[in-house]
């Protein structure tokens, strides 16, 4: 996709719906007011064009290289999960909540499924927010301590929660709940396929939910299949 100042906001979003989040972040209306050039939209909203351009280019060149996460140092992998996946979830939740509410309000009477999707996303957003805090404040610091102790052949005091198995069992259960909610959202949205007459906000909602679920799968995979088994093994 070529990005030029003369292209309209709507054209860019139509070529790649994922750019909708960039315009949203910069406060530019891509849905109803998207018929103006990017240059005009920037001056109208007091946005620096080069900042917007680099954000739009970043959407284009999102790096999806295949890493061998299993070979990474455990502390480094935990930092990666926190900095990449937790940050992504925190940033996307308010954007998607706003899309979901708007689509539910405007289209809910014709498309009952979007009302339910709005409710389900609110539920999963609240659960994930609490879940990530528990990982960041309780589980992850202990696992990093464990990893350092193993590296330096030292012993550490037993944690307040007894054994790492208990918080891990709770985290795995919460992962399953979040996964199940997204299965339901995918089913209700016909695998994130907007209706033919859908406006850009409707399309952006489904594209954002789709990307969110994909990221969640990767996020849960790293924890359930790499971090948690290694933590249990190290504690023993």
Q: Which of 97-101, 138-142, 152-156, 181-185 has the lowest mean pLDDT?
A: 152-156
Tell whether 2 is covered by a domain. no
Residues 6+ apart with CB under 8 A from 73: 147
Using the 3D structure, point to which of 38, 60, 82 is the last residue of a domain: 60
226: pLDDT strictly greater than 60: yes
Do 55 and 151 fall into the same domain?
Answer: no
Measured distance CA(171)–CA(46) in Å, rounded: 43
Mean pLDDT taken over the chain: 91
pLDDT the model gives residue 128: 98
Residue 56: C-alpha distances to residues 3, 8, 51 (Å) = 8, 13, 9
Instruction: Count other Cβ atoms within 10 Å, centred on residue 154.
Output: 9
pLDDT the model gives residue 13: 84
If DSSP codes are grouped into helix, strand and coil, which group holds residue 147? helix
Phi, psi of 8 (to 5 degrees): -80, 160
Q: Which of 31-40, 76-85, 131-140 has the lowest mean pLDDT?
A: 31-40
Do 16 and 108 fall into the same domain?
Answer: no
How many separate domains does the chain show?
Answer: 2
How far is C-alpha 117 from the chain's CA centre? 16
Do 124 and 195 fall into the same domain?
Answer: yes
Do 117 and 188 fall into the same domain?
Answer: yes
Tell whether 145 is covered by a domain. yes
Looking at per-residue pLDDT, the higher value among 5 and 103 belongs to 103
Do 35 and 138 fall into the same domain?
Answer: no
Do 82 and 55 fall into the same domain?
Answer: no
Do 158 and 216 fall into the same domain?
Answer: yes
Nearest Cα to Cα of residue 236 among 168, 159, 141, 165 = 165
Looking at per-residue pLDDT, the higher value among 127 and 155 belongs to 127
Do 117 and 34 fall into the same domain?
Answer: no
* Mean pLDDT computed over 41-58: 92
Do 156 and 229 fall into the same domain?
Answer: yes
Do 101 and 195 fall into the same domain?
Answer: yes
Range of 14-18, 125-129, 230-234 with top mean pLDDT: 125-129
* Dihedral class, residue 204 (left if φ above 0, else alpha if ψ from -120 to 50, else beta): alpha
Indicate the pLDDT class of residue 66, thresholds 50, 70 and 90: low
* % residues pLDDT > 70 (the chain): 96
* Mean pLDDT computed over 199-209: 96
82: pLDDT strictly greater than 90: yes
Tell whether 50 is covered by a domain. yes
Tell whether 65 is covered by a domain. no
Report residue 45 as tokens. 């909203």
Do 96 and 196 fall into the same domain?
Answer: yes
Burial letters 4-21, b for 16+ CB under 10 A, else e: eeeebbbebbeeebbbbb
Burial letters 42-58, b for 16+ CB under 10 A, else e: beeeebeeeebbeebee
Tell whether 3 is covered by a domain. no
pLDDT the model gives residue 10: 82
Looking at per-residue pLDDT, the higher value among 185 and 221 belongs to 185
pLDDT the model gives residue 160: 86
Tell whether 110 is covered by a domain. yes
* % residues pLDDT > 90 (the chain): 69
Provide the domain limits for residue 137.
Answer: 70-235
Do 127 and 95 fall into the same domain?
Answer: yes
61: pLDDT strictly greater than 70: no
Instruction: Count other Cβ atoms within 10 Å, centred on residue 128.
Output: 22
* Burial degree of 75 (CB within 10 A; 0-12, 13-18, 19+): middle
For the stretch 133-151, pLDDT in tens is: 999 999 999 999 999 998 8
* Mean pLDDT computed over 25-54: 88
Indicate the pLDDT class of residue 190, thresholds 50, 70 and 90: very high
DSSP 157: P
Tell whether 32 is covered by a domain. yes
């Amino acid at each position: 996709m070529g990005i030029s100042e003369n292209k309209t906001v709507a054209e860019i979003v139509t070529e790649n719906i994922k750019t909708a989040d960039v315009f949203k972040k910069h406060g530019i209306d891509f849905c109803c007011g998207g018929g103006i050039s990017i240059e005009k939209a920037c001056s109208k909203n007091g946005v620096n064009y080069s900042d917007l351009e680099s954000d739009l280019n970043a959407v284009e060149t999102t790096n999806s290289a295949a890493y061998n996460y299993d070979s990474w140092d455990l502390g480094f992998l935990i930092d990666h999960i926190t900095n990449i996946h937790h940050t992504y979830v925190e940033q996307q939740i308010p954007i998607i909540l706003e899309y979901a509410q708007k689509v539910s309000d405007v289209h809910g009477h014709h498309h009952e499924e979007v009302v339910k999707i709005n409710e389900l996303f609110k539920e999963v957003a609240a659960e994930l927010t609490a879940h990530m805090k528990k990982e960041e404040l309780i589980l992850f610091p202990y696992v990093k301590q464990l990893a350092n102790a193993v590296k330096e052949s030292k012993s550490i005091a037993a944690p307040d929660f007894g054994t790492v198995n208990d918080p891990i069992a709770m985290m795995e259960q919460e992962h399953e709940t979040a996964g199940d909610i997204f299965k339901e959202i995918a089913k209700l949205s016909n695998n994130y396929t907007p209706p033919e007459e859908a406006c850009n906000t409707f399309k952006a909602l489904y594209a954002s939910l789709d990307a969110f679920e994909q990221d969640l799968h990767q996020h849960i995979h790293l924890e359930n299949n790499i971090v948690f088994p290694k933590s249990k093994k190290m504690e023993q």
